[in-house]
Amino acid sequence: MKKIIMDVVIIGGGLSGLMASLESKKDNLEVAIVSKSIAGKSGNTIVSGAAMASVNEINYDSEIIFKKDVNDSAKGINNDEMTDFFCKESKKVVDVLTSYGVKFKKKDTQYVTKQPPGHSVSRSFPVDISEVAYHNRGLSILNPILENVKSNKISIFNNTVALKIIKKANRVLGVICLDKEKEELIVFVSKVVIIAAGGGGNVYSNTNNTRDITGDSYTLALESGCELVDMEYVQFYPTMMFKPLKVTVSNPLFGEGAVLKNIHNREFMYDYSNKGNIATRDSMAHAIYNEIKEGRGNPNYIYVDSTNIPEDIIEKKYKEFELLLNNRELSLMKDLLPVAPASHFYLGGIKINKKCETGIEGLLACGEAACGVHGANRLSGNALTETVIFGIEAGKTAVYLIKNMKVESDDFDFIEKNSTEYEKRIRFNKGEYSISELKNYLRNTMWEHASVIRNKKSLIEGIEKIDKIKRKLSKVDINDTHDYYKLYELKNLLRISEMILNGALLRKESRGSHYRKDFPSKNDEFRGNFVYKLKAEEIEISFIKKESL
């Protein structure tokens, strides 16, 4: 078993992890990025809309206006301190990324901005994606950031899965990882570990997440003693195309005049929201899902009609998307695009403060792995802004912590004992159940029972089905280390499933992206957060009213 000594280990090679690594390296620390796939080419940033929400003077914006928009969307359950910090720091993200070589769209010398649903002013800054494929437009951000990571000689360990954080009392000592290619364990010894491995969108069969997003962040945190918050909250992207190509139909189109229509060619959004087609994602996803369930889809889709948007707007702001559609003989200006909801962003996550601290000494979290800013719903463009702001903040906190940390004499003996014990637990066996079959069954179960629209009967049925999968885990087929880490992913997805189902069952109201058909209204008794902890291998759920947070 290989041992590598570092100051900071960052789990996750997406934008938040990369930003954390660059900030940590400014103090000449030994920094390592552990990425389950390829750092800078993995995670959800790559498939994002490549736009940043940022307070700006161009459109008479302000922190106060932005904060009001975020709070309106959050429906009263976001963390006020983190939201304040987010809105204040957002004004810096364009300049920060530009300093690293990221290019934002401009018309002449002026930045192009968009106004997605839920934003009261035009504050979404799209990145210039002319040099990358439209469906991988996040590379326009990741590519230059990754170049900076490499030039700063930050160590990158690709195709390496973080399996367990080593903790002594309430202090982090390192991480046990699996090198998937060499099929060997690596123990990273470090004073600080930053969890930046994203959310858990692949718990659902309908998703726009990349395949490596399987809730690893949450299991690592839970098993380390961290609290998770709002795990019943998942944001569903309302307008995902699955055929003839898989791509998100951008929300800002609705700010330009696009409308949703059902199979009867009827606009329906005003049936669900007084904001109509500029409603927030949660309202739009609920409406689309319901139209499909009520038989007004074709059969599993409804349509985005953008044919009334002026051609010059399409050319100026949506040229790349139009060209992508043209390759499939479609056009924003001529055709109705078939769309349906898909899991998009995990609103819940690891409980942190604005310094990204989890309550475990030396264990930090940032990006989609953490939560606090968005509450019950996230506005378009806020996710990437969050990854930059809190990625940087995690790096700053890491530097501060390391300056004030001491290594105890028996730390290395403790690490040796824990890593050896973990290695002994790895076992292969011939079983009767396929991991991939159980995973597919789980994902279909979650989409059917706990996705966009929920109710008591369906949630209880989902819990029963998930319990059946858990009982089969001891009989799965594990032939090699590849199967072992796939089983690890399945266990992580199972844990997320339990939290979503049980949390959704307890939250007897509808608020933001959580919609209960049997409790369709908001209830002030639930203005607060469900907190999830691991106790004796079982999830324990408690509730904290917002006033006492």
pLDDT band at 549 (very low <50, low <70, confident <90, very high): very low
How many angstroms separate the Cα of 186 from the Cα of each of 19, 25, 360? 24, 22, 22
Coil, strand or helix: which one is 323? Answer: helix
pLDDT band at 239 (very low <50, low <70, confident <90, very high): very high
pLDDT digits (tens, 9 = 90+) for 486-523: 999 999 999 999 999 999 999 999 999 999 999 999 99
**Radius of gyration over every alpha carbon of the chain, rounded to an integer in angstroms:** 23
Coil, strand or helix: which one is 36? Answer: coil
pLDDT digits (tens, 9 = 90+) for 200-220: 999 999 999 999 999 999 999
Whether 428-548 and 237-342 are alike in CATH topology: the answer is no
Burial of 494 (0-12, 13-18, 19+ CB in 10 A): buried
Q: Choose among 236, 307, 258: nearest CA to 115.
A: 258
Mean per-residue pLDDT, 340-350? 98
Task: Report how far residue 65's alpha carbon sits from residue 167's, in angstroms, rounded to the nearest whole number.
Answer: 42
Query: What distance, in Å, lies between the first and last C-alpha atoms of the chain?
Result: 44
Domain-wise residue ranges, the chain: 237-342, 428-548
Look at residue 293 and tell me whether its pLDDT is greater than 80: yes
Q: Choose among 513, 134, 127, 122: nearest CA to 322.
A: 134
Q: What share of the chain is helix, strand, coil (3-state, %, to 5)?
A: 40, 20, 35
Domain at 237-342, CATH from 3.30.450.20, 3.30.420.40, 3.90.700.10, 3.90.45.10: 3.90.700.10
Mean per-residue pLDDT, 215-227? 98
Residues 352, 355, 358, 361, Cα dihedral to 10°: -170
Q: What is the mean pLDDT of the chain?
A: 96
- Residue 153 region, left (φ>0) first, then alpha (ψ -120 to 50), else beta? left
Is there a cis peptide before residue 244, judged by omega within 30 degrees of 0?
A: yes
pLDDT digits (tens, 9 = 90+) for 51-105: 999 999 888 999 999 999 999 999 999 999 999 999 999 999 999 999 999 999 9
Task: Report how far residue 308's alpha carbon sits from residue 463's, in angstroms, rounded to the nearest whole number.
Answer: 45
Task: Report how far residue 38's alpha carbon sits from residue 29's, in angstroms, rounded to the nearest whole number.
Answer: 22
Residues 301, 452, 50, 318, Cα dihedral to 10°: 30
Q: Choose among 52, 26, 5: nearest CA to 148.
A: 26
Domain spanning 428-548, CATH architecture:
Up-down Bundle (1.20)
